Structure 1
Amino acid sequence: MTARPDGTPVWADAVSADPEGAKAFYGEVLGWTFDEAASELGGYARALKDGRAVAAIVPPAPGQESGTAWVLHLAAADAAAAAERVRAAGGTVLVEPVKVGEHGTTAIARDPAGVVFGLWQAGTQQGFELRDAPGGYGWAEVFTRDTAAANAFFPRVFPYRVRKIVDDRVDYSVYSLGEVPALGAMGMGPDVPAQVPPYISVYFVVDDCDAAAGRAVQAGGQLVFGPMTTPFGRSASFVDPQGAAFSLIDPSAAEGEPPAAVEVA
C-alpha cells in the first residue's frame, strides 16, 4: 500500500474508561464488531465494519485521568521528526514516539490551544481499512477557541494549505494536502460552555443520519446539534454515554453549493 502523505487522517482511537460500554454503544449505532482486546497492548480492541478495521477502543493508560475522548491520528513518515516540529511550532508532545511492535510508531501531541491528536508512522498497520463509507471514518474538525493559532500551528507540523471559508456566520477553515481536503477547523462560539476543552471531532459515515441519530440517542448518547443538512451532507453531533464527542454524517444527503474559500497566507 502506498504511504499516505504526512497530515492525512489515518486512524482514530476512543480512549474510554468504560471500554465495554463504548463497544456496546458504537456497535448499536454504527454496526461495529470488535476484535478480542489485546492484553499486550493494554486492552486495545479494534473496531470492525464488515470485517475491515475502522477504529479502536482502548482503556486509559495506568495513571491517566479517567474519561473518554476520541483521538485522531495523523500520518507521519517520521514520527520523531514530526514530534520535533510540534515542539518548534509551540505545541507539546504528551507521549514521545514509541514503537508498537511491527505495527508502527505512535506519539500523542497537543497544540498550543489544547487540542490533542496523534501521530502515526505506519509499519504493517497502515490505518483505516474502510473510510468514506457507512461505518467508516469520513471527516474530522479541530474545534478550538483560537482558529488563527490553529491555522498557524498545524501547517508548521504538516504540509497543509489553509483555506478560510468566506462566511461571516461561521469561523471555518479547511486544511488541504495539495488540492485534497484533509481536515477542518471550526471556531467554538460563545454558546459553547467554557468548561468544554478544545478537541477534534471525528465524523463517521452513515447511510441515514436521522435514523443513526435516533439509534445514538436510544443507546444513551446526548445529541448536541442536528441533524442538519449542509453542502457536505446531513450531519449531527453527539457526546457518547462515556463522555466522548463525535459526529455522524451522510454525505449522500448534501444540498446546496459549497461556500467560497480564500487561501490564508
Structure 2
Amino acid sequence: MKLTTVTVGGPCWAEIATSDPAAAKAFYGELFAWRAETDPRPEAGGYTMMMLGDAPAAGLSPLYGPGQRTGWTVSFSVTDADATVAKVTAAGGRAVMEPMEVLDIGRFAVVADPSGAVFSLWQARSFAGAGVFNDPGALGWVELLTRDTEGSAAFYPAVLGWSVNAGESYTQWGLDGADFGGMLAMGEQFPAHLPPHWLPYFAVADVDVTASRAAGLGGEVVMAPSSIGGVRRIAVLRDPQGGVFGVYQAGTDG
C-alpha cells in the first residue's frame, strides 16, 4: 500500500481470533518471524501483540464467543468510533458490536457493510495500530471481496472518505491519492456459502517460498502463487486453524 503510517480512514490493524492461540503463535511466528507478546492482565483476555522486531504487526486472540470462528479482521482508523458507527447505519450497514472501551488504549467497534462484510473501527488513544507497513512480515494491502461492488463503492466513501479507482476488473481504494486496498467481485469461482469479507495481505520477501513454508507448517495454499498484471505476485493461504490471509511480494506496493 502507499500508506506507510496509520492514517485516519485507512487500515491500521489486522487481528486473528483463533481456536488455538498457541498453535497460531507458532505458525505465524515461523512464517512471518513474528514474536508473541501476550498481555498478562486478566482483563485483556489473552490478547497477544505479534511483534515484527520492535514494532507491533498484528493481533491475536482466543475465540471470545459461542459460534465465533477462526478468522482475520481488518480495522480502520477513525477519530470518533461512535460517530462512524452512526454513518455506517445511515449508509445501510449495521453495528455488530457497539463501541466499547479497550482498557486504556482505544475505543473499538465492529460493523458490517450492507453486503455483510465485517470490519472494525479503531479510535486510538495510547495505541494507534501497526507500527510497520509494507515490510516483509507487515500488513501491506487489504481487499474487500463482495458480490455488491456497486453498493460497496458508494458505502465506503460515504463512511470513511475513500477515493475509488475503478478499473475493468479491479477497484482500488485510496485516501488523498494513496491507494491502500482493493475490491474484488465474487463471481462463480467463489462458493455460494462464502460470505463477503475483508482479506488482509502481508508483504513477504518471496511469495513462492512463503506458500511452500505455510504448507509445510500445516497450512494450506488456497490460491497458488500468481503474477497479477506482470507486476505483483500474490498467494492466498489458510493457517491450520482455518484463518485465511494473503501474501504479496514486498516492493510491489499499490
| Equivalent of residue 106 in structure 1, options 105, 108, 115 | 108
Q: Are positions 1:235 and 2:234 aligned together?
A: yes
C-alpha displacement of 1:36:
2.3
C-alpha displacement of 1:252:
3.3
Partner of 2:53: 50
Q: Within 1, Cα distance between the matches of 2:129 and 2:63?
A: 21
Runs of 4+ in 1 over 4 A off after TM superposition: none
- Cα gap change, 1:80/1:139 in structure 2, threshold over 3 Å: closer, same or farther? same
C-alpha displacement of 1:133:
0.1
TM-score of the superposed pair, with normalisation by structure 2: 0.92
Partner of 1:263: none
The question of whether the paired residues in 2 share the 8 Å contact of 1:140 and 1:183 is answered with yes
Local SS of the residue matching 1:252:
coil
C-alpha displacement of 1:155:
1.1
Q: Are positions 1:204 and 2:202 aligned together?
A: yes
The question of whether the paired residues in 2 share the 8 Å contact of 1:6 and 1:159 is answered with no
C-alpha displacement of 1:161:
1.2
Indicate the RMSD between aligned Cα atoms, in angstroms.
1.7
Q: Are positions 1:223 and 2:225 aligned together?
A: no
| Equivalent of residue 99 in structure 2, options 97, 100, 114 | 97
C-alpha displacement of 1:197:
1.5
The question of whether the paired residues in 1 share the 8 Å contact of 2:6 and 2:130 is answered with no
Question: Partner letter of residue 57 of structure 2?
Answer: V
C-alpha displacement of 1:4:
4.5
Local SS of the residue matching 1:27:
helix
Local SS of the residue matching 2:251:
helix
The question of whether the paired residues in 2 share the 8 Å contact of 1:17 and 1:59 is answered with yes
**Could you list the runs of 5+ residues in structure 1 that have no partner in the other structure?**
259-265
| Equivalent of residue 213 in structure 1, options 206, 211, 216 | 211
TM-score of the superposed pair, with normalisation by structure 1: 0.89
Q: Within 1, Cα distance between the matches of 2:108 and 2:250?
A: 30
The question of whether the paired residues in 2 share the 8 Å contact of 1:11 and 1:72 is answered with yes
Number of aligned positions between the proteins: 248
| Equivalent of residue 59 in structure 1, options 38, 62, 81 | 62
Q: Within 1, Cα distance between the matches of 2:52 and 2:238?
A: 21
Question: Partner letter of residue 101 of structure 2?
Answer: K
| Equivalent of residue 70 in structure 1, options 63, 69, 72 | 72
| Equivalent of residue 179 in structure 2, options 156, 181, 190 | 181
**Could you list the runs of 5+ residues in structure 2 that have no partner in the other structure?**
none
Partner of 2:124: 122
The question of whether the paired residues in 1 share the 8 Å contact of 2:204 and 2:210 is answered with yes
C-alpha displacement of 1:22:
1.2
Q: Within 1, Cα distance between the matches of 2:241 and 2:209?
A: 21
Question: Partner letter of residue 218 of structure 1?
Answer: G
Q: Within 2, Cα distance between the matches of 1:253 and 1:36?
A: 32
Q: Are positions 1:6 and 2:11 aligned together?
A: no
The superposition leaves residues 58-107 of structure 1 with CA deviations (integer Å, 9 ceiling, x where unpaired) of 1122x331321111000110111001000001111111111112211110
The superposition leaves residues 21-64 of structure 1 with CA deviations (integer Å, 9 ceiling, x where unpaired) of 21111111111110024432111000011121100111122x33
- Cα gap change, 1:253/1:160 in structure 2, threshold over 3 Å: closer, same or farther? closer
Q: Greater CA deviation, 222-231 or 132-141?
A: 222-231
Local SS of the residue matching 1:35:
strand
Question: Partner letter of residue 49 of structure 2?
Answer: R
C-alpha displacement of 1:127:
0.7
> What's the % identity of the aligned pairs?
35
Q: Greater CA deviation, 175-184 or 36-45?
A: 36-45
Local SS of the residue matching 1:24:
helix
| Equivalent of residue 137 in structure 1, options 120, 136, 139 | 139
